[in-house]
Chains A and B, each alone.
Chain A
Amino acid sequence: MSDATSSTPFVRRDGIFDRILVVGSAGACVALLGMLAMVLLDIVIGGSGRISLEFLTAAPSNGMTEGGIFPAIVGTALLTFLMTIAAVPAGVATAVYLNEYAPTNSTLARVVRVSIANLAGVPSIVFGLFGLGFFVSTLGRAIDVTLFSGELTFARPSLLWAALTLSVLTLPVVVVATEEALRAVPRELRDASLALGATRFETVVRIVLPEALGGILTGAILAVSRGAGEVAPIMFTGAAYFLPQLPSHLNDAFMNLGYHVYVLATQSPDVEKTKPILYGTALVLLMLTFLLNVVAVILRSRTRGKLKPAL
């Protein structure tokens, strides 16, 4: 083919090869979307029959082959809520440092960026090991020794430690989204604010952050979605197999939707019997994480559209 084209260099040929490329690459897009649709459809079809008010509001019963998943829903909500409280302020502050405070070519900023990139690449199961080794065994034990005279209170897997482990895991999500939003805020706004006599901090708090709010919210939603779906980091740091009562303290263990799916799928004595519950739980989890993602995507495209004319 190269022979033919080089001898007739001025003819644009839309040959069979070109068409194969277009059709093939379009087919790849279809394949990916098809995979996504397949998983979504299967879970929705398999799970929708199970969803009922009782399923959403009752505790598991009869060896987890009957009843609902209420404790797992509450546990997941509490977990992601605590995680958000820790991860979002820290992530936003980190992004503000990187984008607003750090001098150009600052070594510290570079190291922070490398750390964020590395955190994003650490396997989630390693976060679980870290949470167990640091939060539960070290920090928890230190708290017990100093505050509870050695009595076992915080040196065990709990809501607090699982949430903190997850917040470290989701920190990069918040930082990356916030930084993108901050970068989209026009420089002129900062200059105008500073020229009018506002300090740097005032400019950040009153001008830059409100302008970037949409992007920050996107990051927070993505972090919640990510945190709600993760299982590996909480396996050893707080998730429990079966707990009929809801967690009432930060140092209580908790049930979790993703962990519930994992446990039922791997350790149930009667898989056929638990399959409807499995599908139902997977559907609730998927709705939660997937819908949050859809919201984030829409929010992101809107805020991008809004800021464009200002540039």
Chain B
Amino acid sequence: MSDAASSKSSGAARTLDLRRRPRRFERIAEAAIVAVALLSIVSVALILVFVGKEALPVLYSSVVHEEVTPLAMILPREINGHAAYLWQPVSEIPKYNIVPLFLGSLKVTVVALLFAVPTSVAAAVYCAEYASSRMREFLKPAIELMAGVPSVVAGFFALVVLASWIQRAFGTEHRLNAMVAGLGLAFATCPVIFSVSEDALRAVPQSYRTAALALGSTPTQALLRVILPAALPGIGAGVMLGFGRAIGETLIVVLASGNAALVDLNLGHSTRTVTATIAQELGEVVVGSAHYHVLFALGALLFLVTFVVNVITERALHRSRQSLSGSK
């Protein structure tokens, strides 16, 4: 920077410049690189603006309000004397209650995490703590290859194979249900949680372990009371990332959940998620209709949820990195 300034002010500096290319080329190249780097910021902004633009009419547009108001999207509707949460966008009187959809998303996500978190964290512990370095070099990439299976293929497997197994094992009422979708989702969630947790465990400085062992703890005690707690923020970040992945996943749930918008907590029942609703309905709506805007509003809400999850995760990762490196 100061170099550039001095060359402008005095001709002497210019004659000393041994660089072959003119400065201007350098500056253009740098500007181009910075401009491209800005694309990522622009992309996030464009996603916000253009999903938001189609979602916001839900709040103010009279065309939308003829069919549904924001309150009617979350409050139950009185039908035959009892309250019901209904998502029936193509019935004679369209009903756009988003409660069953978010409940459905939450249901399958919880099932996925109940399976994925213990399994993935335990696998990460084995990789980081017990496996020989050779074993680890095989295990980690092999498990991470789970992420290389496209979600539509995992969903297809859940639909054709897993659903039959689960029905045979639990005698579920519907063949495609929240449990099938959740376990299918676990397939997409496990590699995320595993990978981040393993990194977090390995980022714990060796001195922690040696100190714990020197003070007389067994390897197990060192693991459970020193290493795991130190890696906990990182593992938590992995779980959050897994949550974001699970709640935003589309193809697995659209294929395996059965897609009935029911309000109940029975895992054996068919369920409908936010993502599956957008995937199945957006292709058939009239652009600009109430249904169209409500679907975009669902997308915007989903974006907000994952955005918040991301911010929390980044903070947690940042803090854990700082605290671990600060105490080295």
Contacts and interface: CB of A to CB of B under 8 A. Distances in A.
Interface in A90-105: 90, 93-94, 96-98, 101
A33 B279 contact: no
Interface in B32-81: 32-34, 36-41, 43-44, 46-47, 50-51, 53-54
- Most A CB contacts (10 A, CB to CB) among B139, B219, B303, B309 go to B303
A126 B37 contact: no
A129 B307 contact: no
A36 B145 contact: yes
Given A121-B309, A123-B303, A129-B278, A171 B40 contact: yes
A243 to B, nearest CB: 15
A93 B31 CA distance: 11
Contacts of A175: 40
A26 interface: yes
Contacts of A262: 152, 155, 251, 254-255
A125 interface: yes
A125 B216 contact: no
Contacts of B303: 122-123, 126
Given A199-B26, A293-B145, A297-B145, A126 B302 contact: yes
B21 interface: yes
A35 B255 contact: no
B24 to A, nearest CB: 12
Contacts of B251: 231-232, 258, 262
A9 B314 CA distance: 39
B43 A168 contact: yes
Contacts of B283: 235-236
Interface stretch (A10-18, A54-62, A145-153, A181-189): A10-18
A182 B187 CA distance: 31
Contacts of B130: 22, 25-26
Interface string B161-172: 100000000000
Interface string B13-31: 0000011110001100110
B141 to A, nearest CB: 4
B306 A121 contact: yes
Interface string B245-256: 001111100110
A96 B155 CA distance: 37
A90 B190 contact: no
Contact of A115 (B43, B275, B306): B43
Interface in B180-221: 187, 190, 194, 216-221
B297 to A, nearest CB: 10
Contacts of B154: 39
A201 B29 contact: yes
B307 A121 contact: yes
A292 B130 CA distance: 30
A17 B36 CA distance: 54
B46 A134 contact: yes
Interface stretch (A65-73, A246-254, A283-291): A283-291
A202 B145 contact: no
A235 B282 CA distance: 9
A307 interface: no
A28 B34 CA distance: 44
A53 interface: no
Contact of A266 (B47, B190, B254): B254
B157 A42 contact: yes
A129 B51 contact: yes
Interface in B123-164: 123, 125-127, 129-131, 137, 139, 141-157, 159-161
A231 B152 contact: yes
Interface residues of B, number: 96
Contact of A125 (B50, B142, B279): B279
B30 A294 contact: no
B308 to A, nearest CB: 10
Given A123-B275, A123-B306, A29 B127 contact: yes
Given A21-B223, A125-B302, A130-B46, A90 B36 contact: yes
Contacts of B295: 129
A36 B119 CA distance: 14
Contacts of A46: 160
A14 to B, nearest CB: 8
A25 B136 CA distance: 13
A121 B244 contact: yes
B241 interface: yes
A261 to B, nearest CB: 5
A178 to B, nearest CB: 12
Contacts of B149: 36, 39-40, 229, 286, 289-290
B316 to A, nearest CB: 12
14 contacts: A25-B126, A32-B120, A32-B190, A32-B194, A39-B157, A115-B41, A123-B244, A133-B54, A134-B47, A236-B283, A258-B150, A262-B155, A262-B255, A265-B156
6 nearest A-B pairs in the assembled complex, by CB-CB distance: A123-B248, A229-B150, A293-B148, A28-B122, A25-B126, A97-B37
Given A28-B123, A121-B313, A129-B51, 7 more contacts: A14-B218, A32-B143, A112-B38, A124-B249, A129-B299, A138-B50, A282-B156
Interface of B: 18-21, 25-26, 29-30, 32-34, 36-41, 43-44, 46-47, 50-51, 53-54, 118-123, 125-127, 129-131, 137, 139, 141-157, 159-161, 187, 190, 194, 216-221, 223, 241, 244, 247-251, 254-255, 275, 278-280, 282-283, 287, 295-296, 299, 302-303, 306-307, 309-310, 313-314
